[in-house]
Amino acid sequence: MGSSARRAATAVAVSAGLAAAVIPLTSAQAAAVRGELRTDQVGYANHDTKIAYLMTGAAVSGETYRVLDSHGRTAAKGRVGKVSRGSWNAAYPDVYPVDFSRVTRTGTYRIVTSGPVKTSSDTFKVESGSALYGTLVADGVNFYQNQRDGAHVLKGPLNRKPSHLNDAHATVYKLPAFDENSDNGDIIKGSGLTKVAGSSPVDVTGGWFDAGDYLKFTFTTAYADDLLFASARALGRNAPASLSAEAQFGNDWLNKMWNPATKTLYLQVGIGSGNAAGTFFGDHDLWRLPQADDTDNAAADRYAAKNRPVFEAAAPGAKISPAIAGRVAASFALASQADAAAGRTAKARTELADATSLYAQADTHPKGDLVSAAPSSYYPESIWHDAMELGATEITLAEQGLHRPRAEYRTYLTQAATWAKDYLATDSGKDTLNLYDVSALAHADLATAIGRAGRPSGLAVTRADLVGDLKAQVASAAKTSSADIFRAGGDYTNFDVDSHSFGFISTEALYRKASGDRSYQAFAGEQRAWLLGGNAWGTSFMVGAGTTFPNCTGSQIPNLSGSLNGKAPLDVGAVVNGPNSTDIFSDGLGDLQDGTRKCEQDAFTAFTGHGSEYVDDVRSWQTSEEALDMTGSAILAGALQSSVR
C-alpha cells in the first residue's frame, strides 16, 4: 500500500549513466542485436548465487560472456543461458540469465558479452556479506540524519540548518474533518482548525521528517525506530555508533509525543493540505527548505509553516488505537533493552515504564478505522494484532533484560502469544514485513522470548507456530520470485515494492536464524540484486548505491541545497518507492510546483513493461519519493543479513 502523504518530489545530483548503454549498430554490424546487461551494481557476497540478466532486442544463441577483474583479466567465462526467461516488453522480448557464481574471490569486476550482443555491465564488487550489507546500514543511517528536524540537525553535505523551532510550543487542535471526495482525501473541510479546549502548548521539536515533505508522524516514526533499534541489537558490538545514536534520536521525539501523566499520545505534527476555499494551506502546498518555516508569517501558511498543529491520537486518558500504541510501546521497550545491555539500568527502567503505560492504553476492541494518521488515507492501516504482539514481546524482552523474575514478565509473554495466535488466525498470508505488517519481527522476537523463558507450556502459540509463519511469508514471496523474469518477489505494479522487497531480505534472515534452514538464502540475494540494479530499469533504488541510482528523489532538501549540474549534494542512503503501475501515470506528472528546481531522467521509459513503470522525476512521488519506512527496511535487511550465519 502507498501513502498519499508521499506527494512531494525533488531532485538531487545526476549520477553516472544507465547500467549498460545500447550499442549503436553500424552497417558492418547489421547482425548485431540491441542489448542491456543488468547486475547488482553494489555487488555480491563471495559465495552468493550470482546471476546477471542480458536483455536483448531479439532472440540470440551462442552468446558468450567474460567476467573481467579490475585489471582487465578474465576471472571467468562461459556461455549465456540458451533459454530466455521471457519477454519484458516489445523492445526487449528476451531476457537471458548469466550465471557467474564461480567468481568468489574478493575484488571489483564487470561482465562483457560477445556474439550478436556486445555490451558491458557496470562494475560491481564481490566481497564478504558483512561488508556488502554493511553499506546499506551505514548509508541508510545517513539518510535518517538528513531527515532530522529541530535544533539538533547535522549539517552534513546537504547543509542542514535548525528548523521548526516553533514546534517547541505547538498548539493542540481537534482532528479536522476531511473531504473524502477530494483527490487525495486530505482537503480539510471548514475555514480553520479548532483548538482542543483547555489544552496547553506542547514541545514536539525534533524527530524526523516522514518523507520528502516536513510532516512528522508518530506511526511511521515508531515503525522506523523499531527497525533501527532492532538493527543495532542484531549487530551488537559491530553496530556503528551512528545507528544507535539515530535510534535514540527518534526515541527522544516519541517520548515527547507520549505523556504518561495525562495518558495522551500525540498523533502527528502538521497537515498535508489546506481547505477547499484556499484560505489556508498545508505542508504539501509549499516547496521550500524547512528552516524557512520559522519566519513564514503569511496568513495562508499559518498551519503549514510557522505554527504547525499537533493532533491527539485519542483524548487524554482514552483508549488508543492498537496499531499505533503497539508500535510506540515497542520502541520504548527496545530502547530499554539497549540501555539495559549498556548498563544504564535507571534509564532502562524509565523507558520500560513508558512502554507498559502506553501498552496498557491500547484499545484491544477497536471499532471503525484504525488511527494511524490524519487523514487515515495517508497511511491506511487495516490490522493490529501484529503491533500488539510486537509491543508485548519487546516489553517481555526488556523485562528479561532487566532480570525481572518470570512471574513479572509472564503476563506480557502470555499476551504476546495470544496476539500472535490472533494474527495467525485472521491476518496471516495477507502481507509481509513492511510499515503495515510487523509480524515477522514480532514472531522472531517472541520465539526468542519464549526460549529465554525456558519454553513454558500453556502459551497460545508455540515456537514452531511462529517459525512456521516466518517460513510461510518467505516461501510465498519466493514462489512469486521464481516465476518472475528478474526474480522479483514483490509486486512492482503497486506502492512500496522496495519496502516489501527489503522486508523479504529481513524475513529470510529472521527465519534462517530461528530455524537454521538456509534454503531461502539465494532468494534473499535475488531480492537484493533486484533492488540494487538487477532489474529491467538497470538502476539501484537507493541513492548513492551502485552506478545508476535515483537522481530526482522526492525530497525538497537536496532539491534546494545545491546546483543540478552534476555536483549537487546527494541524499545518500535514501530508498525510494520504486516501480509502480503504469496506470497511475496515465494523466502525466503535471507541472512543477512553485519553487521546485527541475530535474528529470527520461531514459527509463524504454524499460516500461509488465504493467510497471519507473520514473525518476522531481514530480514523480509515485516512484521516486523517499521515506523513513522504506529506508528503515534497507537498514534492517543489512543488519540482519550481516549478523545471521
Q: Give the pLDDT confidence score for residue 563 in this predicted structure.
A: 55
Nearest to 636 by CA among 239, 215, 41, 216: 239
For residue 329, pLDDT over 70 is answered with yes
Q: Give the pLDDT confidence score for residue 2 in this predicted structure.
A: 38
Which of 7-16, 213-222, 398-407, 483-492 has the weakest average pLDDT?
A: 7-16
| Claim to verify: residue 84 and residue 142 sit in the same structural domain | no
Identify the domain boundary among 80, 99, 121.
121
| Claim to verify: residue 160 and residue 298 sit in the same structural domain | yes
Query: Which residues are bridge partners to 312 per DSSP?
Result: 266
> Is the CA virtual torsion 182, 183, 186, 187 positive or negative?
negative
Which of 3-7, 214-218, 364-368 has the weakest average pLDDT?
A: 3-7
Q: Give the pLDDT confidence score for residue 568 in this predicted structure.
A: 64
How far apart CA 642 and CA 235 sit, in angstroms, is 7
| Claim to verify: residue 143 and residue 95 sit in the same structural domain | no
| Claim to verify: residue 103 and residue 215 sit in the same structural domain | no
Considering the domain boundaries, does residue 109 fall inside one?
yes
pLDDT bin (cut points 50, 70, 90) of residue 30 is very low
pLDDT bin (cut points 50, 70, 90) of residue 457 is very high
| Claim to verify: residue 398 and residue 460 sit in the same structural domain | yes
Q: Find out whether 138 and 282 touch, Cβ atoms under 8 Å.
A: no
Number of structural domains found in the chain = 2
Nearest to 530 by CA among 144, 40, 149: 40
Nearest to 137 by CA among 242, 249, 250: 242
Query: Which residues are bridge partners to 428 per DSSP?
Result: none
pLDDT in tens, 616-628: 998 999 999 999 9
| Claim to verify: residue 143 and residue 270 sit in the same structural domain | yes
pLDDT in tens, 282-297: 999 999 999 999 999 9
pLDDT bin (cut points 50, 70, 90) of residue 344 is very high
Q: Give the pLDDT confidence score for residue 452 in this predicted structure.
A: 97
Considering the domain boundaries, does residue 476 fall inside one?
yes
Considering the domain boundaries, does residue 592 fall inside one?
no
Average pLDDT rounded to a whole number, residues 504-530? 98
Q: What are phi and psi of 269, to 5 degrees?
A: -120, 120
Q: Give the pLDDT confidence score for residue 625 in this predicted structure.
A: 95
Identify the domain boundary among 121, 155, 182.
121
Mean pLDDT of the chain: 93
Q: Give the pLDDT confidence score for residue 618 in this predicted structure.
A: 87
CATH of the domain at 106: 2.60.40.10
Which of 7-21, 425-439, 496-510 has the weakest average pLDDT?
A: 7-21
Q: Give the pLDDT confidence score for residue 183 in this predicted structure.
A: 82
Domain that holds residue 111: 27-121
Q: Find out whether 117 and 53 touch, Cβ atoms under 8 Å.
A: no
Q: Find out whether 52 and 98 touch, Cβ atoms under 8 Å.
A: yes
pLDDT bin (cut points 50, 70, 90) of residue 567 is low
| Claim to verify: residue 77 and residue 148 sit in the same structural domain | no
**Parallel/antiparallel/unpaired status of strands 124-127 and 43-45:** parallel
Considering the domain boundaries, does residue 616 fall inside one?
no
For residue 3, pLDDT over 90 is answered with no
Q: Give the pLDDT confidence score for residue 602 in this predicted structure.
A: 81
Considering the domain boundaries, does residue 4 fall inside one?
no
> Is the CA virtual torsion 104, 107, 113, 119 positive or negative?
positive
Q: Find out whether 306 and 286 touch, Cβ atoms under 8 Å.
A: no
Considering the domain boundaries, does residue 639 fall inside one?
yes
Considering the domain boundaries, does residue 586 fall inside one?
no
Considering the domain boundaries, does residue 566 fall inside one?
no
Terminal C-alpha separation, the chain: 32
Q: What is the DSSP letter of 177?
A: P
Q: What dihedral do alpha carbons 230, 231, 232, 233 form, nearest 10°?
A: 50
| Claim to verify: residue 53 and residue 35 sit in the same structural domain | yes
| Helix segments in 402-462, DSSP class H | 406-426, 439-452
pLDDT bin (cut points 50, 70, 90) of residue 41 is very high
CATH of the domain at 483: 1.50.10.10
Q: Give the pLDDT confidence score for residue 32 in this predicted structure.
A: 80
For residue 399, pLDDT over 70 is answered with yes
| Claim to verify: residue 368 and residue 246 sit in the same structural domain | yes
How far apart CA 42 and CA 197 sit, in angstroms, is 54
For residue 278, pLDDT over 90 is answered with yes
Q: Tell me which H or E stretch contains 79.
A: strand 74-79
| Claim to verify: residue 464 and residue 353 sit in the same structural domain | yes
The amino acid occupying position 432 is T
Q: Give the pLDDT confidence score for residue 566 in this predicted structure.
A: 53
Identify the domain boundary among 121, 146, 175.
121
pLDDT bin (cut points 50, 70, 90) of residue 184 is confident
Average pLDDT rounded to a whole number, residues 532-555? 96
For residue 26, pLDDT over 90 is answered with no
Cell 533484560 belongs to which residue? 401
| Claim to verify: residue 381 and residue 272 sit in the same structural domain | yes
pLDDT bin (cut points 50, 70, 90) of residue 85 is very high
For residue 227, pLDDT over 90 is answered with yes
Average pLDDT rounded to a whole number, residues 322-330? 98
How far apart CA 596 and CA 502 sit, in angstroms, is 30
For residue 14, pLDDT over 90 is answered with no
| Claim to verify: residue 377 and residue 482 sit in the same structural domain | yes
Nearest to 324 by CA among 271, 377, 257: 257
- 350 by Cβ neighbours in 10 Å (0-12 / 13-18 / 19+) ranks as middle
Nearest to 373 by CA among 619, 157, 79, 176: 176
Cell numbers placing 530: 533486484
